[in-house]
Structure 1
Amino acid sequence: MAESSDPIISVHDLTIAFGPKVIQQNVSFDLKRGSIFAVMGGSGCGKSTLLKSMIGLLRPASGQILVEGEDYWAQNQRRRTELNHRFGVLFQSAALWSSMTVGENVALPMEMFTPLRPDVIRRLVELKLGFVGMEHAVDLMPSEISGGMRKRAGLARAIALDPDILFFDEPSAGLDPITSARLDDLILTLRDGLGATIVIVSHELPSLFKIADDGIFLDAKTHTPIAHGAPRDLRDHSTIPEVMAFMNREATVQDASATKGETHG
């Protein structure tokens, strides 16, 4: 077991690609325990694609993703599945099963991966939903709740197995500013209350400045990371034009071109 001062995840010289098309290369960073790490960059730079490699959905072309020293992609499928149980994921759409109640959605990981009795699972579901302020929605269908509530229900499912690493893909997308701010507060509560380490893909600057204490900036033009640090520090001190433009919400040529074609997050 790695010492607590060691990074919980280390990414070493990663290249992610679709066939001959390189999305990002030379990606290296350490994820400190208890941090909220932001993956930033303009449209089409590969933010969500990097996240997919980190959670086991996309094998990188080269490089390593070490989870407490274990090379994730060098493991067999059984061991990768075991490591995945340490991860909780909130996808951009929340990805709740529409034919299942909110409670059934949260219960699903426990039913699939634990030997717990149904009555115990029900109590844990109520506990997880209570943690995100959704205990009243346990028997409601996803179609009966708002977008913000679906995001919180997705968070409850993400923490169903008590993971120590959480991955959020654009958690504030489609939310109004007040609901987004409440979600930011909830993410901070997850970090502080559960001791979770969080990776967040987002372009919502108010959220990034509020909650993230470290991060990496991916450039769509060079297909490489061009800055590393807390979003607030990059905003205040970076002299890199692309980073300055992003942090000050200035449109860039690469953003405009990326939105016209196929993007990869």
Structure 2
Amino acid sequence: MRFSRLSRTHWTFDMTEPDTLISVRDLTIAFGPKVIQQNVSFDLKRGSIFAVMGGSGCGKSTLLKSMIGLLRPTSGQILVGGEDYWAQNEKRRTELNHRYGVLFQSAALWSSMTVGENVALPMEMFTDLTPEVIRRLVELKLGFVGMEQAIDLMPSEISGGMRKRAGLARAIALEPDILFFDEPSAGLDPITSARLDDLILTLRDGLGATIVIVSHELPSLFKIADDGIFLDARTHTPIARGSPRDLRDHNTIPEVVAFMNRKADIAPASETKG
């Protein structure tokens, strides 16, 4: 059971939607002749924490941008609830985007607005709720991430970890069923990063959210992700699929083994004998 959008201010229960929320089919992303990734296909299942993995420059964040509507792919499809996202007009794409919540790598809070105003912004833009109701909802969202005491503070007055949590509160402002996180642990110390991992699991378990996470932080991936895809920068294609733990313990592709075990002395497949 989940909440689905009925109008800009109402929700209804929907028990009929299939388990697959997003399907990526034969996606290619390129800038002119430079191919970033090609032949990308996978399904995003309801309730999963799906990791997009790979080394620097493989196209992880680029794939994320294409999935959330910031970058049109060169070819292929991104199906959202069965609808071809990039075949829709701008109005319909905006409507589909209301299913999404996004936490960018830097949290991307507006520096001229308080934490509370940042969280309120999506509700002010896309609902007809009164200021009083929005304020109460902002308090609830910030309370969920342990940030209610910072509602009237400016982003410059809080730590990096607190800014990430404030960004999470804004990402769940419209109660989306799919959350996208781009390097959520980047720049955080190990303890703060571990707390953020716990919060992501709470979002999945407490809100029923489905999560796509771009990250190269292996401890976080092993702890929270239950599915994923591995993008290869050399071949510009996905070369492995599965949970981070499975890829670490059972995969034999040299590039994947090297990455998942943090080894620098394993030759790529093209350099191995046999």
TM range (shorter): over 0.9
Considering Cα pairs closer than 8 Å and 6+ residues apart, tell me whether 1 or 2 has the greater RCO.
1
RMSD: 1.6
1:14 corresponds to which letter in structure 2? L
Deviation at 1:18, TM superposition (A): 1.1
Q: Partner of 2:154 in structure 1?
A: 141
Matched AA of 1:213: D
Letter of the 1:44 partner, please give it: G
Q: Which residue of 2 aligns with 1:14?
A: 27
Partner of 1:222: 235
TM-score by length of 2: 0.91
Corresponding position of 2:9: none
- Of 116, 119, 122, 1:109 maps to 122
> What percent of counterpart residues are identical?
89
Q: Does 1:25 pair with 2:44? A: no
Listed one character per residue, the Cα deviations across residues 5-32 of structure 1 (whole Å, up to 9, x for unaligned) are 4310000000011122110000000000
| Distance (Å, rounded) in 1 between the aligned partners of 2:86 and 2:15 | 18
SS in structure 2 at match of 1:8: strand
- Does the 8 Å CA contact 2:226/2:244 hold for their aligned counterparts? yes
TM-score, normalization by structure 1:
0.94
Q: Which runs of 5+ in 2 are unaligned?
A: 1-13, 268-274
Between the aligned partners of 1:187 and 1:14, the Cα distance in structure 2 is 27
Segments of 5+ residues of structure 1 without an aligned counterpart are 255-265
Whether 1:79 and 2:87 are equivalent positions in the alignment is no
Task: Give the C-alpha shift of residue 249 in structure 1.
Answer: 1.0
Cα offsets for 1:146-203 (capped at 9, x unmatched) = 0000000000000000000000000000000000000000000000111000000000
Alignment of structure 1 residues 71-220 onto 2, 5 Å: 71-220=84-233
The match for 1:249 among 235, 252, 262 is: 262
Contact 1:2/1:69 (<8 A) preserved:
no
Does the aligned pair in 2 maintain the 1:242–1:252 contact within 8 Å? no
Name the CA distance, whole Å, in 1 between partners of 2:126 and 2:264. Answer: 45
CA distance in 2, matches of 1:253, 1:148: 35
Q: Contact 1:13 / 1:64 at 8 angstroms: preserved in 2?
A: yes
* Partner residue in 2 for 1:37: 50
Check conservation: 1:39, 1:216, Cα contact below 8 A. yes
Which whole-Å CA distance do the structure 2 matches of 1:220 and 1:118 have between them? 48
